[in-house]
Amino acid sequence: MMKSNERQTAEGFLYTDMYQLTMAQLYYREGIHEQEALFDYFFRSYPDYGQHQAGYCIFAGLAWLLDWLEDLQIHPEEIAFLAGQKGSTGKPLFEPDFLAWLERAQPFSELTIRAVPEGRVVHPNVPIVVVEGPLLWAQILETSLLNHLNYQTLIATKASRMRDCGQERMLLEFGLRRGPDRGASAGGRAALIGGADFSSNVGLSKIMGLEPKGTHAHSMVQVFISSGGTELDAFKAYAEVYPDDCLLLVDTIDTLESGIPNAIKVFKELRQNGHKPVGIRLDSGDLAFLSLQARKMLDEAGFPDTIIVLSNQLDELVIWQIATQIQAEASSCHLDPDHVLDKLVYGVGTRLIASEGQPALDGVYKLVSIKQEGVWTPAIKISENPDKIINPGYKHVWRAYDNRGKATVDILSMEDENPGEMEKINLHHPTEHAVSRTLMRDEIERIEPLLETVWQDGKALIETPSLEEMRLNRLNDVSCLDPGVRRIINPHVYHISLTRKLWELKQGLVSSLS
Amino acid sequence: MMKSNERQTAEGFLYTDMYQLTMAQLYYREGIHEQEALFDYFFRSYPDYGQHQAGYCIFAGLAWLLDWLEDLQIHPEEIAFLAGQKGSTGKPLFEPDFLAWLERAQPFSELTIRAVPEGRVVHPNVPIVVVEGPLLWAQILETSLLNHLNYQTLIATKASRMRDCGQERMLLEFGLRRGPDRGASAGGRAALIGGADFSSNVGLSKIMGLEPKGTHAHSMVQVFISSGGTELDAFKAYAEVYPDDCLLLVDTIDTLESGIPNAIKVFKELRQNGHKPVGIRLDSGDLAFLSLQARKMLDEAGFPDTIIVLSNQLDELVIWQIATQIQAEASSCHLDPDHVLDKLVYGVGTRLIASEGQPALDGVYKLVSIKQEGVWTPAIKISENPDKIINPGYKHVWRAYDNRGKATVDILSMEDENPGEMEKINLHHPTEHAVSRTLMRDEIERIEPLLETVWQDGKALIETPSLEEMRLNRLNDVSCLDPGVRRIINPHVYHISLTRKLWELKQGLVSSLS
C-alpha cells in the first residue's frame, strides 16, 4: 500500500493522465479554457466473457467519483511537481502564468454533471454521465471519471449476472485477496450494489454498513492436525467458541468420509446443548454432486435448516450449472430441489472481483458539443469503424417501457425534444442507415428520463444513495428487462435508438467531414 | 474514491477477511495464538491468457505491503466495530478479553518475513514470501499479503511479456482510465517494474520519480473543428505551445490523407524556426501497415528521427505481430526494418492494467509448519488434486544456473540442506512420483538462495528498492532464462524440484493422512 503521504499526491489532482494537463495549458494559451464544453461518458459494448456475454450492465461508482471531487484541492506540492516538468530542450513544459492560474482555481467547481443513478441498468452508446462546463476542467476530469466508473460498472454487472444465475439466492463476496490492490475496495462495493448480499472484507463492510461474513480456513484444521489433533478437534474447538454461529469447512481431508461426518458429530453436540448449527462450506470437488450428498447427510442427521456455502472459482456459468444440475437430479437422491437450492449460499471471489473473461469495460468520455456564442455546436469524431462515430450534441436520454411494463428501447434525443410528448416516435439505429422504426404512443406505457443532475456549483446535489436504494434500482430495472436480454449466453440485443432529428444531425456532421 | 476518513477504517487493520478475525479469536481462546507458525506465499500456475501463456512471472508488490505493515496501528474505532459484531443469537461475536488483548497488541511486530526481491523472475509452487511468527498474526496477515502481491505480480508479468515482444523498445503505460479504481496506482507501479519505461499517470509518476508522458487526445482536434477550425489549426496551436515537444495524434479524421500530411506541414514550420519535432501517434487502423506508411512519409519529408507512438488495444501478441510484420515487409517499402522499429514506441493501456486474458494470479498463502516445543512440525493439506498438495515444512529456496549461465531449476530444500554443498543433487518433481533426476555439481555454475529477510521486529529490514534496482533484477533474471521459457506461446516448462529429503517428508505426511 502506498505510503499515506504519497497517497495525497498520487490520488488527488494529479490522478490523471499527463496529456490532460498539456491540453489544459494549450486551451489556456488559446483563451478557450473557459469555453463551455459537453462530454458524454458511455461504453461501446457489453462485456463479452468469451463463452458468454452480458445483455445489460449495472452502473456503479458515481458516489465515489463525487466524493473524490468534493475532497479535491490543488496543493502547492502538486503545482511544484508540474513546474519541475521539463521538455526536450530542458525548458519547463508548463509556464508560470498557467500554473499560477491553476493554483488559484477551484478545480471542477464550475462543472455540472448529470448522471444515471447507481444500480440502474445501462446500455451501450447511451450517455450514462454527461459533464458540462469549462473545457479545461471537463477535459482534465476524463481520466479520473473513467477510472472511477469503468471498474465498478464492470464488477456490478458481473455480480448481477451471478445473482441472476443463483436465482436471487444469497451471494457472498470473498474477492479481497485476489482483488487489484486497493481497487478491491471499489470492486467489493460494486459487488454489493450489483448482487452480493455481504462481503468478507471487514473494512469495506464497515463503511458500507454491513456485517462482514466468513467461516474459517483450512489452516485452522491444519493447525490442530499438525499439533497432533484431528479435524474433529478443530471443529469442536470452533463450535465451543462459536456455538450459535458454527459454520464448518469440511474439505480439508475428505468431504464425504471425514468432513461432513465430523461436522454432524459436532452439530449433534451443539443441539444437545441448545444451540442451532449454521451449516458447512464446500471449497473443492464437484460442488453440485457434493451439495446433494451433503444435503442428504445433513437432513438425515436432522439438520434440514443448515446451509451449505459453496466456494472455489464460482462464476455465473458455474452457479447456473450447479443450480440446473441440482434441479434435475435432486429427486433421484430423494431430495426436494427447492429445499436444496434454498439452503445454498454462493461465495464468489476471484472471478467476480477480476471480472473473469472480460477484465475491463470499454467506457469512454467523448467531447460531443462546444458552446459558441451561447449556442451549443455539436462536435463529431468520425472513424473508419461506424460504431466508433460518436452521437453528437447536447442530448437527452430516455427509456421507454411497453404495455407489459418491460423496457423496450433507450432513446437519445436532441435537447429540445421530448419523446414522451410525441404521438409517434421515429427511431433510427445509431449506425445502420437502413434500420429504423416508428413507435406509436399507444405501444408505450411510459417514457422516463434517465439522467439527473448530481453535481453543480462545486458540490454534490444528491445524498450518497444508500445501498438499499441502489440495490432496489437494480432489482426494479432487471425485472423490467425482457428475459432474453437477461439470458447469460447469447442474450437478445436491447434496442438503442436516436430520434430522427438527432440521426439527421449526425449524418449531416459526418458528411461535412468526409 | 472512498472518503479519506473512511479510508483509514477500510484499509488499515480491517483490510482483511472476517474469518481471519474469527479464527484469531479461536486461536486466542485455545491459547495457541502465540505459537510459532510458518506460512508460504506462492502461486500455483503461470497466468494462462487463453491463446498464450506465461513461462515465468515477475514478482512485485512487496514494498507496498511492507509500507502497509509499517503504517499499521489498531484504532479504537476498529475495535469498536468488532465489538459491535453480533452472532445469530444477538450476542457479541468477539469477547471483551480478546478485543482488549488485540487493542494492546503491536500488530505484526513479532513476524519475520523472508521474500524474493521485487523484479525477480519467479515460478509456480516456489515460496516467494515466507512468514514466520505468532500463529494469530501470521494468519490475519494472509488477506492483505495476497491482495498486495497477487495483482502487482500479475501486472509486472504482463508488462514483461509486452516489453519482451517489443524487443526492449520503449513501452509507455496508459492504463489509469481503464484500471481498477485506485488499484490502477499499484498496477502502474507494477508495469513500471515489469517493463514500462514511463506512465501517463501523473501522480504515480511523481511518487515513482519519473516524468509522466503523454501527447494529446482526439478531443483537442475536435475542439478546433467544432469551433470552425481544422485539424491543421489544432496541430499548429499545439506546435506553438510545445515547439520542442510536438507529438501529434494523426487519426482524428484520416491518418494518411489528413493527419500525417498536416503533421508534416507543422513539422516543417517547426524546423524552419529551429525546433525539432518529436513525432506522431497512431491510435486506430492497421498499426503495422500505417507505421510503415507513416515512416515512409516522415522520412521522405526529412524527419527520419521522429518517433511513431502506437496505441489502441495493444498487448504482447499485437506488439509481436506488428514487429514481425514490419520486419518482413519494411524492405518492400524501401525501408530499413530496424530503423522503423527503433523509432516505434508502444503505448499500452487496458490490456496491461487489466491483464487481459487472465485477470488474476492464483497466489495462495498456506500454513506449512507449526513449532512444537521448539521444533518445526510440518503441516500438510491434502487434496484430490495432487497439484494442490502443499510442500510442507520449514524450507529453503534455491536457484541453480547451468554452465551457460542459464537458470535451470528452482529447488526447494529442507531447512538443514544446502544444495550448493552437495556433490550430486537428487531432484524430485513436486507431484509426479516417477519423475526424478540427478544434477551433478559440475553441471552447475552456481546455486543462489532466493529469499532474504525483509521484515523483523516490527520494521522493514531493507530500504525500499529503487525502480532501477527492480528493473535490473528483471533484466538479469529474464536474460538468464532459456529462450524457450520466454516464448510467449506454449513456453517450455521451467523445472521446479524438491530435494529427495523434502520429497520423502511430503510423501510420509500424505500417507499418514490418507
pLDDT reading at A4 higher than 80: no
Q: Do A10 and B366 touch (CB under 8 A)?
A: no
Do B446 and B402 form a contact (C-beta atoms < 8 A)?
no
Burial pattern B315-347, b for ≥16 Cβ within 10 A else e, equals bbbbbbebbebbeeebeeeebebeebbebbbbb
Cα A82 → chain centroid: 33
Q: Do A23 and B219 touch (CB under 8 A)?
A: yes
Angle at B412 between CA B408 and CA B416, to 5 degrees: 125
Write down the residue that cell numbers 469495506 correspond to: A204
* CA-only gyration radius of chain B, Å: 27
Q: Is A50 left (phi over 0), alpha (psi -120 to 50) or beta?
A: left
Q: In Å, what is the CA distance from A216 to each residue of A270, A353, B22, B140?
A: 18, 21, 7, 12
Q: Do B26 and A214 touch (CB under 8 A)?
A: no
The confidence score (pLDDT) of residue B251 equals 94
The secondary structure of A327-350, three-state, reads HHHHHHHCCCHHHHHHCEEEEECH
Question: Among residues B165, B132, B159, B140, which one has the least CA distance to residue B59?
Answer: B159
Q: Closest-CA residue in chain A for B356? A: A359
Q: Do B64 and A174 touch (CB under 8 A)?
A: no
Do A109 and A131 form a contact (C-beta atoms < 8 A)?
no
Cell of A236: 469442536
Question: Among residues A325, A320, A315, which one has the least CA distance to residue A288?
Answer: A325
Write down the residue that cell numbers 551457460 correspond to: B404
In this complex, the residue of B15, B212, B226 whose CB is nearest that of residue A370 is: B226
Q: What string of pLDDT tens digits covers the 514 residues of chain B?
A: 677 778 888 999 999 999 999 999 999 999 999 999 999 999 999 999 998 999 999 999 999 999 999 999 999 999 999 999 999 999 999 999 999 999 999 999 999 999 999 999 999 999 999 999 999 999 999 999 999 999 999 999 999 999 999 988 999 999 999 999 999 999 999 999 999 999 999 999 999 999 999 989 999 999 999 889 999 999 999 999 999 999 999 999 899 999 999 999 999 999 999 999 999 999 999 999 999 999 999 999 999 999 999 999 999 999 999 999 999 999 999 999 999 999 999 999 999 999 999 999 999 999 999 999 999 999 887 776 777 888 999 999 999 999 999 999 999 999 999 999 999 999 999 888 888 899 998 999 999 999 999 999 999 998 889 999 999 999 999 999 999 999 999 999 999 999 999 999 999 988 887 6
Chain B residues in contact with A509 by the CB 8 A cut-off are none
CB-defined contacts A:B, below 8 A: 392
The confidence score (pLDDT) of residue A215 equals 85
Question: Among residues B43, B59, B359, B316, which one has the least CA distance to residue B179?
Answer: B359
Q: Do A186 and B182 touch (CB under 8 A)?
A: yes
Give the model confidence (pLDDT) of A318-368 as tens digits: 999 999 999 999 999 999 999 999 999 999 999 999 999 999 999 999 999
| A457: three-class secondary structure by DSSP | coil
Q: Is the dihedral of CA A170, A176, A182, A184 positive or negative?
A: negative
Q: Do A177 and B143 touch (CB under 8 A)?
A: yes
Is ipTM > 0.85 here? yes
Nearest chain A Cα distance for residue B404, angstroms: 38
Q: Do A18 and B150 touch (CB under 8 A)?
A: no
Q: Alpha-carbon dihedral of residues B87, B91, B93, B95, nearest 10 degrees?
A: -170
The confidence score (pLDDT) of residue B459 equals 95
**How many angstroms separate the CA atoms of A265 and A281, rounded?**
16
Q: In Å, what is the CA distance from A31 to each residue of A95, B160, B495?
A: 15, 43, 63
pLDDT reading at A463 higher than 80: yes
Q: What's the one-letter identity of residue B90?
A: G
What is the number of alpha carbons within 13 Å of residue A276 lying toward its C-beta? 8
Q: Closest-CA residue in chain A for B90? A: A244
The confidence score (pLDDT) of residue A458 equals 95
Task: Extract long-range pairs of A337-342: CB within 8 Å, 24+ residues apart.
Answer: A339/A295, A339/A304, A340/A291, A340/A292, A340/A295, A341/A167, A341/A169, A342/A169
Nearest chain A Cα distance for residue B366, angstroms: 7
pLDDT reading at A170 higher than 90: yes
How many other C-beta atoms are found inside a 10 Å radius of the C-beta of residue B54?
24
Nearest chain A Cα distance for residue B230, angstroms: 10
Averaged pLDDT for residues A206-219: 94
Burial of B383 (0-12, 13-18, 19+ CB in 10 A): middle
Do A221 and A242 form a contact (C-beta atoms < 8 A)?
no
Averaged pLDDT for residues A151-175: 96
Chain B residues in contact with A174 by the CB 8 A cut-off are 17
Q: At residue B243, what are phi and psi to the nearest 5 degrees?
A: -65, -25
Q: Do B23 and A220 touch (CB under 8 A)?
A: yes
Chain B residues in contact with A83 by the CB 8 A cut-off are none
Do B85 and B21 form a contact (C-beta atoms < 8 A)?
no
Q: At residue B39, what are phi and psi to the nearest 5 degrees?
A: -120, 140
What is the number of alpha carbons within 13 Å of residue A198 lying toward its C-beta? 16
Q: Do B223 and A370 touch (CB under 8 A)?
A: yes
How many other C-beta atoms are found inside a 10 Å radius of the C-beta of residue A386?
12
In this complex, the residue of B23, B87, B362 whose CB is nearest that of residue A217 is: B23
**How many angstroms separate the CA atoms of A22 and A6, rounded?**
23
Nearest chain A Cα distance for residue B362, angstroms: 7
The confidence score (pLDDT) of residue B514 equals 64
Q: Closest-CA residue in chain A for B8? A: A203
pLDDT band at A211 (very low <50, low <70, confident <90, very high): very high
**How many angstroms separate the CA atoms of A224 and A220, rounded?**
7
Chain A residues in contact with B35 by the CB 8 A cut-off are 227
Q: Report the DSSP pairing between strands B198-199 and B171-173.
A: parallel
In this complex, the residue of B91, B200, B372 whose CB is nearest that of residue A18 is: B200
Q: Do A203 and B14 touch (CB under 8 A)?
A: yes
Q: Do B30 and A237 touch (CB under 8 A)?
A: yes
**How many angstroms separate the CA atoms of A341 and A357, rounded?**
26
Q: Do A359 and B361 touch (CB under 8 A)?
A: no
The confidence score (pLDDT) of residue B8 equals 80
Do A221 and A195 form a contact (C-beta atoms < 8 A)?
no
Q: Closest-CA residue in chain A for B71? A: A3
What is the number of alpha carbons within 13 Å of residue B461 lying toward its C-beta? 13
The secondary structure of B264-307, three-state, reads HHHHHHHHHCCCCCCEEEECCCCHHHHHHHHHHHHHHCCCCCCE
Question: Can you list the positions of beta strands (E) in B334-485?
Answer: 344-348, 363-372, 375-378, 395-402, 407-414, 424-428, 436-440, 444-449, 452-456, 459-460
Q: Closest-CA residue in chain B for A511? A: B253
Do B234 and A381 form a contact (C-beta atoms < 8 A)?
no
Q: Do B19 and A237 touch (CB under 8 A)?
A: no
Do B121 and B160 form a contact (C-beta atoms < 8 A)?
no
Q: Do B88 and A182 touch (CB under 8 A)?
A: no
Do A66 and A455 form a contact (C-beta atoms < 8 A)?
yes
Q: At residue A212, what are phi and psi to the nearest 5 degrees?
A: -70, 150
Chain B interface test: which of A73, A178, A181, A383 (most B C-beta within 10 Å): A181
Question: Among residues A282, A222, A280, which one has the least CA distance to residue B390?
Answer: A222
Cell of B357: 486474458
Nearest chain B Cα distance for residue A200, angstroms: 5
Averaged pLDDT for residues A233-258: 96
Nearest chain B Cα distance for residue A177, angstroms: 4
In this complex, the residue of B150, B245, B370 whose CB is nearest that of residue A223 is: B370
Write down the residue that cell numbers 532466493 correspond to: B450
Do A470 and A418 form a contact (C-beta atoms < 8 A)?
no
| B93: three-class secondary structure by DSSP | coil
How many other C-beta atoms are found inside a 10 Å radius of the C-beta of residue B271?
14
Burial of A227 (0-12, 13-18, 19+ CB in 10 A): middle
Crossing angle of helices A135-165 and A183-194, rounded to 10°? 60
The confidence score (pLDDT) of residue A297 equals 98
Nearest chain B Cα distance for residue A150, angstroms: 6
| B506: three-class secondary structure by DSSP | helix
pLDDT reading at A86 higher than 70: yes
How many other C-beta atoms are found inside a 10 Å radius of the C-beta of residue B189?
30
The confidence score (pLDDT) of residue A514 equals 64
Residues β-bridged to residue B363: B43
Q: Do B15 and A217 touch (CB under 8 A)?
A: no
Do A60 and A190 form a contact (C-beta atoms < 8 A)?
yes
Q: Do B372 and A227 touch (CB under 8 A)?
A: yes
Q: Do B183 and A186 touch (CB under 8 A)?
A: yes
The confidence score (pLDDT) of residue B9 equals 85
pLDDT band at A424 (very low <50, low <70, confident <90, very high): very high
